[in-house]
Structures are given as C-alpha cells and as structure tokens.
Chain A
Amino acid sequence: MTDAMPAGDRKPIAPPVDETGPLGWARKNLFSSWGNGITTIVLLAFVVWVLDWFLEWALFTANFTATTGAECRGGGACWALIREKFRYIFFGSFPYEQHWRPLFAVIAMLAMLVLSADRRMWNWRLLVIWGVGSFVTFLLMFGQLHIPLSLILAVALIAGGIGLALRSGLATPSERMAYYALVGIGAVGLVLRIAGVLPSWSIAIAPLSYVETSLWGGLPVTLILATYGLAFAFPYGILLALGRRSNLPLIKGLCVGFIELIRGVPLISLLIMASVMLPLFLPSGTTIDKFLRAQVAVILFAGAYIAEVIRGGLQSLPKGQFEAADAMGLNYPQKTLLIILPQALRVVIPPLINTFIGFFKDTSLVLIIGIFDFLNTANQALVDPNWAGFPGEVYLFAAFVYFIFCYSMSRYSKYLELELNKGTRR
C-alpha cells in the first residue's frame, strides 16, 4: 500500500526516541559498551562525591556571619572572612571612606575594555574611548591631575607627525596645514619650554583629595598594571617587531639586542632592578614613583614578548603583499599600517591574547617590590591573626575573580578569531 502513495505525501518518520534526545546522546556517548558504561558510573560517583563534599563545606556548613575568626573555626568554609575583608582585598589601603573612587575607576576601566572589544569601535572612536576612560580612571584614583604644558606640546607634536606620515598623499591642503601647525607648535613650544622661556605651567584638575600610589591596592592595581602595561606594550612591541625586520643594521641590532636581553631575564629580576638598583643610580633626593617603575618594567617586558608574537605574523605574510603595496606607491608607514599590519595582526590574535592572559596574572609578581595587587591584598588578609587560618577561602575567592577575567578574555579571543576569519572561512 505504501508503495502506491505518491512520494511527496510520505511523512518522514522520526527516529526512535532512544536514538535522539538526551537519552540517545547518553547511550551513544556514555554507555556504548560495558567498559564505557562502568567508567561512566565510576566517574559519576566520583563527581557526586566530590561535589557533595565541596557543597557541604562551601555552602551547608559554611559560616557567613561570624564577626571574629574564632567563631568560624571548626565548621565549613568561613565566608565571613571574605565578608569582613573583601573591601580590603579589592581596594587595599585606599582611604576607606573613599572606596567609591577605586570602585568607579574599575568600572570605568572595564567599560573602556568592553567598548574597545567591539569591532565597530576600531577607528578614531578607540582613541576617544581610551582618552576618556583613562582620564576618568586616573582622576578617580589620584583625585587630582596636573597636566603639564610640556605633555600637551608633546602630544601635539606626535599627533601632527602621525597625521603627516599617514595621510601625506590623501590629505586636503587645509588638513595638511593643520598637521604642520600641530608639529610646529609642538616642536617650537617644547624647545622654548626646555630652554626655560616658557614657564612650567600646568592645568590642574583637583575635584577630590589626592591619594598617592603607595596607598593604591587590590583590583585597580592589577587592572591598571595589566591594562596599561599591555596597552603601551602593544604599539611598542609592534615597533620592535618592525625594527627587527628592518634593513638598517643599527635599528635591527638594537631591536634584536633589546628583545633577547629582556626575554633572557625573568620579570622578577627586572622588577627588582627597577625597585632596588634604579633608585641608587639616581641623584640623591630624586625618586621615581614605585608604581610607575613597576609599570614601566611590565611594559618593557611585555613589549619584548609581544614583539616576537607579532614578528611571527609578519613572517607569515607572502612577499607579494609587500611588493603590491610598493607598486601602489604607498610609503612605508602607509604600507605597514594599511596593508601589512592588519593582515599580520589577524594571524596572531590567539597567541596575542594568550600573552595578555599570561601578563594579567604575572602582574601579581609586583609583591616582591611591595606593591599590593589583588592577589597580594588577599595574601595580606590572611596575615591578620584575627582571621588567619582560612587560606582556602581567600585563595578560592581570588582564583574566582582571576578566572572571571581570564575566561572572558579567552572567550573574546575565540569570538574575534571567528569574526576576523569570516573572509577566509567556507
């Protein structure tokens, strides 16, 4: 009978229930043979056992309300410790009643990072986002900012220079005039400033009380060291990578020497150099902020690693790309920024984010020079005799926070890979 039916009227018969759905999936993947079945059951039992023990400790017998460490002893996890210490762990010795400032600074930095993760922002908007974000972050952290005249002049000089280099062939006469004006004002101003003709004038923005870096601590320190460490190390690493492939022996030699020197020593030794040796070489009475020294050490170190990652990307480009760019009559900056780097960077995104994740965690090494980043404020919370004896809780909490950051970065890298390879995917 069925044969007589026209082919178009046949209803497809659904496969049997035990081959689809969760049941089918379990049968196929977990119980496909006796051996697999037994393994599954044993592992399940193990997971349940561990989970039971963990939940018993972390939730059911845990203490959330104790007011001293002594009350906590003997039971399960002492989350009351985190409750008591979380503000210190997050913000360190920042004045207690002003903790809203580092809180909003962290929010500003996260907003800045999330916004710059969006590809639609990858143009002039990125500069605005980072300018505003950094300004808000540091204004909140310091409370007062003094922008010296020389910095403004230097920015004008650099902005004009970049504009001239990139848009020399494309700019309208008036646009070019603006670049020349910027370069001129910046260069003349700086010379006059150094010669002492211009006064050491600065713009002071001081809405809040001043908090110096020795009081900073916790999450803002980790975020600032990692974010700005990598933000500065990235262009710096690109320059090093380009320099390493340069035809000019001096530039090439300097870049190779620097990269190999930095990669040849551990970050700890660089930090110790910056914090113990450097002050001895400065004239008596001059001190450079400890935080700044650590930040520069991180930038130098990350720069060398990023340079090597980017060099891998540059080497993967076929020679034809360079030649084609030359044939178009593009100058070196144009060729590099418009043709080479966009392709090279796309290739190296996974290893680059890997480097970023590594450095986010490596910043906790600043403990050895007495800077309290997030992990170290957590460590300090353990020293308090009132609350000591619960390292598990504190480290679990710290690990959880680190995991959130690192996992989001890794997910983002995955998204970015898909997004950027759309053109080559089939």
Chain B
Amino acid sequence: MRTRIVAAVAGLAASVVGFAGTAQAGKDLDAVRARGTVNCGVGIGTAGFMLADSQGKWKGLSVDVCRAVAATIFGDSEKVRYVPLTSQQRFTAVQSSEVDIVMGNATYTLTRDTALGLDFTGIYYYDGQGFMVPKKLGVKSAKELSGATVCVAPGTTTELNLADYFRANKMTFKPVVIEKVDEIRAAFFSGRCDVYTTDASSLAATRAANVPPPQTIDDYVILPEIISKEPLGPVVRHGDNQFADIVRWALYAMVEAEEHGVTSKNVDEMLKSDNPSIKRILGVTPGMGKALGVDEKWVYNIVKQVGNYGESFDRNVGMGSLLKIARGQNALWTQGGLQYSPPIR
C-alpha cells in the first residue's frame, strides 16, 4: 500500500533530526504514570478497529488494546486519552512524544521497526489481501477466479500481489484499475467487475457499510485465501523497554486469557480455579505483576474491563459485529490460527 512512501518520508524526517531512540529506560512509563493517562494515537475512523460511536466514544479492536494497556498500568481501562492521527502523522506523533502508543493499523515491517526509531510490540490483527465476490457467482475459492475481471487500486502493492498470485496459479484476469476507493466500490457493486481485491479487513468494512440497497451483505462473500501479509501491531517509541513490555504483555494477556477460557463474564469464578496457569495469570499466585512492574491483578483488570482477545474480536469485527470477519488467521493457534501468546509464567 502506501507504506513505502510513508516509511520513506518518515524515515527521512527522522534522519534529518537524528532520531536514534535516545530516551532513557523508564522515561516514557514514568511520564505516563505521572500524567495518569495513556496517550493513545488512533487512526481516523476505521470501522471495527477505531471509530467514535454516536456518543463520541472511541471503540474498536485497536482501541481495546489501548484500554488493556491502561487497565494494566492504572487498573482502569478508561484512563486513555485518544488522539486522532492520519497515516502521515502517526509515526511522527509517537516519535515526538505526542502519544505513547499508536494504534493506527500500521503494518509491521522491518524498516518501520528499525529506521523510524519505533518498536512494534506484537500483532493484534493478521490482515492481508483478500478477494470479495458476489455470492451469485458461486465461487468458493480464489483458485476458481481464472478469467475474472478484478477491481483494484493502481500503483499499490495490492496490484502487484494480484498479478503475482494469478501468474503463480496459472490463471488470467482482466484488471479494472480505478484510483478512488468510492469509485472502485461503485464499480464493483454495480457489477462492472466480478472481484474486488484489497486488505481483507477493508473488504469486510466495505461489505458491511457500502452495499447499495436492495442488495444486502449476504449477497457478497469474502474468499478464504489471503495472499499477502499485513500484520497490524501497536507501535511505541524505541527506548523505554519497560513500557514496551507492558504494551506487549497487555496484548498477550488478552490472547492468553482466551486460550484458558477466561472471559469478562466468568473471570470472577476463575479466581477460584485450581488450574495453576490460571492462578498465575489472574494474580492469585503472585509474581507476574511484580515481574512486569504493575499490579498483580493486571490480567484480571484487563479481562474484566476489556475482555479477552476473542471477546474483543467478536464484538468489534467478528460475527457479533456488522463486519462479520471470520477468525481465520486470527484464531488461536490451538484452533489453526496464528494468535499465540508466550506463556505468562
């Protein structure tokens, strides 16, 4: 996508000023504690991930990670100050301490992790390029798409991935190249092309929000094949390892809680569990909180106030939401997905 240009510009900007992650260890965390809130940079409205609702409250999967961090540090998931950022601003904002974490649906890449003086602390959503087709075509797999007309935005990695995928599978396609997102959608929904390809999360949002009546969301299917890697992760400044650890483990704790079946509903009963892993996670057996430098009940607070990863996924982007994205790669590793937390012990 635009990642390269953004990375190049931000990299240039960073090198001009000579950023090298000079912050002292613990400085960012101290600043957060003194301030009493986590400054969380969020993208400009993306359905399911970060969007202000009718009451102006920020909600979404990305927002929940920030809330988990606040729950870890303060025991209160509401102690977050949301700063809306565009994709041009987001890395500068975290470099210049305007925000502590950026949840801007940024793809985790090597150049961003190194050259920008930033750290990615995990992956909260495995995104990737997918295909959407009208249900009436009866297509079940991207392998059946030979000869299809495909709507795609020009000059992006999406376009290159598309060509590579079809060539690798010895299929042909007719591209319909349109610059503006709104026009691509209109072309697809009016039937000018058989297939629309872009990041799967964006396909789901398009399907949830832009299907023109009288057609409905059920008239379109997103095919299971994902042909590129776009892992989305929280971004923090390079330098304060303790703060980065907290952000990293706040996300892992959500995944770990799901793996052990701890949900916001049963977390109070789980406190009485005999399972040593659960006792450790929930702080019944102390030690984990101290190791991370936070309250022993940190996971309890996250799960109680925000929910485990599965709950958050389902509520914001999964089957419990209008986006209806399948868990797919974002299922737990025990269920064939990629979401995996190192053990909390």
Contacts and interface: CB of A to CB of B under 8 A. Distances in A.
A329 interface: no
Contacts of B141: none
A385 B213 CA distance: 14
Given A88-B55, A217-B56, A277-B13, A74 B213 contact: yes
B56 A385 contact: no
B54 A370 contact: no
Interface stretch (A109-117, A139-147, A171-179, A278-286): A278-286
A285 B81 CA distance: 17
Which of B23, B56, B82, B88 has the largest count of A CB atoms less than 10 A from its CB?
A: B56
Interface stretch (B203-211, B249-257, B296-304): B203-211
A93 B83 contact: no
Interface string A287-329: 1001000000000000000000000000000000000000000
Nearest to A381: B54
A162 interface: no
A263 interface: no
Interface residues of A, number: 43
B164 interface: no
Given A280-B17, A287-B96, A385 B84 contact: no
Given A388-B208, A388-B209, A284 B23 contact: yes
A385 B52 contact: no
A262 interface: no
A381 to B, nearest CB: 8
B208 A385 contact: yes
Contacts of A383: 45-47, 51, 209
A331 interface: no
B268 interface: no
A389 B210 contact: yes
A94 B56 contact: yes
B209 A88 contact: no
Given A84-B54, A96-B55, A384 B47 contact: yes
Contacts of A272: 88
Nearest to B42: A370
Interface in B121-147: none
Contacts of B323: 385
Contacts of A281: 17
Contacts, number: 118
Interface residues of B, number: 46
B286 interface: no
B73 interface: no
Contacts of A92: 52, 56
Contact of A370 (B44, B56, B209): B44
A87 interface: yes
B243 to A, nearest CB: 14
B220 interface: no
Contacts of B81: 212, 214
B22 A93 contact: no
B13 A287 contact: no
Contacts of B88: 272, 276, 368
B276 interface: no
A389 B51 contact: no
A276 B213 contact: no
B47 A214 contact: no
A381 B45 CA distance: 9
A285 B13 contact: no
Contacts of B214: 73-74
A389 B211 contact: yes
Interface of B: 13-14, 16-17, 19, 22-23, 31, 44-48, 51-58, 81-86, 88-89, 92-93, 95-98, 205, 208-214, 321-323
Given A88-B53, A371-B84, 12 more contacts: A92-B56, A93-B56, A93-B82, A279-B93, A282-B96, A284-B96, A370-B83, A370-B84, A384-B53, A385-B208, A389-B210, A389-B212
Q: Closest 10 CB pairs between A and B?
A: A388-B209, A279-B96, A93-B56, A385-B208, A385-B322, A73-B213, A370-B84, A383-B45, A96-B55, A385-B209
